[in-house]
Structure 1
Amino acid sequence: MTLLFAAMFFAARDQLDALTVEDGPLENLTALLYLVAAILFVLGLRRRTAGPVWLALLAVAAFFVAGEEISWGQRIFGWSTPDGIAVINVQDETTIHNIAGIHGNIRALAVVFVAAFCVMLPFTNRFVPALKHFYARWRIPIFPMSALPWVVMAIGFMLVPRLLGEHVGSLDEIGETALGLAFALFGWAYRRTSIREVSVPASNVTGTSEFQQAS
């Protein structure tokens, strides 16, 4: 998938731009994937499985990203941007992440968060017993290793061009879609585990929770 989009960037730029245009196929798919992730986290929460607070936060965060992706339905339903938001929003739309002062830093902060939560956490959970026990004790959800390739793809498309001094919006959109898929898989991994009703007490000597087994 990475090679396909990279090839399109160099050899089929017009087709790539058509896929990644504002309100285009990839942006709508990204919103849908985050909405699916939010629903899956809520379904896991309703089953009273491990980490209810964490699951609730993940559900709210995923729903927020889904809403931001489509400007909370502004162009779908055709309302105008409120004056108070329009004067501070760099894209004149009903979003928070494009507000002046936030817009320039939000992606860097997102990449740092994703690297810590989706990469560092699962690796330390697997290879550092003390941290694995800590995560289990606090019932922290562990991102599934099986979804890591999509995270790597997302970070690559969003970070590498910037390291080369470039800002390519179409590559950002691809990265956002890959990350949306990763979080949908995250939600599914937890939902699948909760359906199986796997339950290991946090005090277990192995320090493994049911969420961590899903990873």
Structure 2
Amino acid sequence: MLAEDRLVEWMQFLCFAAISVMLGMVAVERARRVPPWSLEVLGIAGLSLLVGLAACEEISWFQRVLGVESSEFFRQHNRQAETNLHNLALGSGSLHKTIILKLIFITGIAHNLVLPLLARSRPAIRRYVESIGLYLPPLPVAAIYLVLVILSHVLIDHPRKGELGEMFGAVHYLATAFAAYMVGIGYDRPRMFESDADCRRLVVIFQAFVVFLLLVSWLLAAGTKLNIAL
């Protein structure tokens, strides 16, 4: 499951793609309620774009799916000879391992632990975070995510075990972004669906959707494995 183009990697891509589309919808809807060039709308739209880029980077912009060869630049400067930016060589390592992973770690701890804890006694922190288009995950959910990441690093012995932590993060942010922006859980800004009854129905649909993403990831992984074998 941890190998290239297997279930874990496809699940990351699908979750990031779903988050990007969802945030794009939220940005368009929010722009109807507040000035389109407000920091709140720009923050959500920018986050949508960033997550969409991360999704495409995860599968090297469909390079292996389409059978496209890397250019000379990427063959020389990418540590996996792939058409993506996060594996570009940087010293003895790659951009991903040298810089991006450290930024993800610091951001993840701050967003899931430090800021939610501070916001419990300082509500102004939550208000500011939400005013720039972001949200804070509920502490119990964030704790589960962090524990899963720690366990995956401690209990699993595999050179690509970090992919599991990234998948947990992708699923975690899909769930918490949906909870905040769509149904307003732990979120003080206007939610996408106003009716409590509609929100309850939507939560059930979302749960089925996540299971569907897992099934699609498994099918894509099986298809890729078969293609390589042929």
Specify if TM > 0.5: yes
TM-score of the superposed pair, with normalisation by structure 2: 0.67
How many Å apart are 1:115 and its aligned residue? 1.3
Conservation of the 8 A alpha-carbon contact between 1:157 and 1:172:
no
The aligned counterpart of 2:55 is 66
The aligned amino acid for 1:176 is E
The correspondence of residues 9-158 of structure 1 with structure 2, limited to 5 A, is 19-48=1-30, 51-101=40-90, 102-105=95-98, 106-136=100-130, 138-145=131-138, 147-153=141-147, 155-156=149-150
The aligned counterpart of 2:192 is 195
Which deviations, in whole Å up to 9, do the C-alpha atoms of 1:125-159 show, x marking residues without a partner?
Answer: 223234334435x3442232154145304642576
The verdict on how the C-alpha distance between 1:148 and 1:142 changes in structure 2, with shifts beyond 3 A counting, is same
* Pairing partner for 1:185 from 172, 175, 178: 175
Listed as ranges, the gaps of 5+ residues in structure 1 are: 1-18, 199-215
The aligned amino acid for 1:104 is K
The aligned counterpart of 2:163 is 173
Conservation of the 8 A alpha-carbon contact between 2:42 and 2:133:
no
The aligned counterpart of 1:8 is none
The verdict on how the C-alpha distance between 1:133 and 1:63 changes in structure 2, with shifts beyond 3 A counting, is closer
Partner Cα separation in structure 2 for residue 169 and residue 53 of structure 1: 38
Corresponding residue SS for 1:61: helix
Corresponding residue SS for 1:91: coil
Conservation of the 8 A alpha-carbon contact between 1:122 and 1:142:
no
Partner Cα separation in structure 2 for residue 178 and residue 185 of structure 1: 11
Partner Cα separation in structure 2 for residue 55 and residue 68 of structure 1: 20
Partner Cα separation in structure 1 for residue 133 and residue 112 of structure 2: 12
Listed as ranges, the gaps of 5+ residues in structure 2 are: 35-39, 185-190, 196-230
Report percent identity of matched pairs. 23
The aligned amino acid for 2:161 is L
How many Å apart are 1:84 and its aligned residue? 1.2
Number of matched pairs: 175
How many Å apart are 1:88 and its aligned residue? 0.7
The aligned amino acid for 1:135 is V
**Which 4+ runs in 1 deviate beyond 6 A?**
none
The verdict on how the C-alpha distance between 1:75 and 1:69 changes in structure 2, with shifts beyond 3 A counting, is same
Corresponding residue SS for 2:24: helix
The verdict on how the C-alpha distance between 1:169 and 1:65 changes in structure 2, with shifts beyond 3 A counting, is farther
Conservation of the 8 A alpha-carbon contact between 1:153 and 1:178:
no
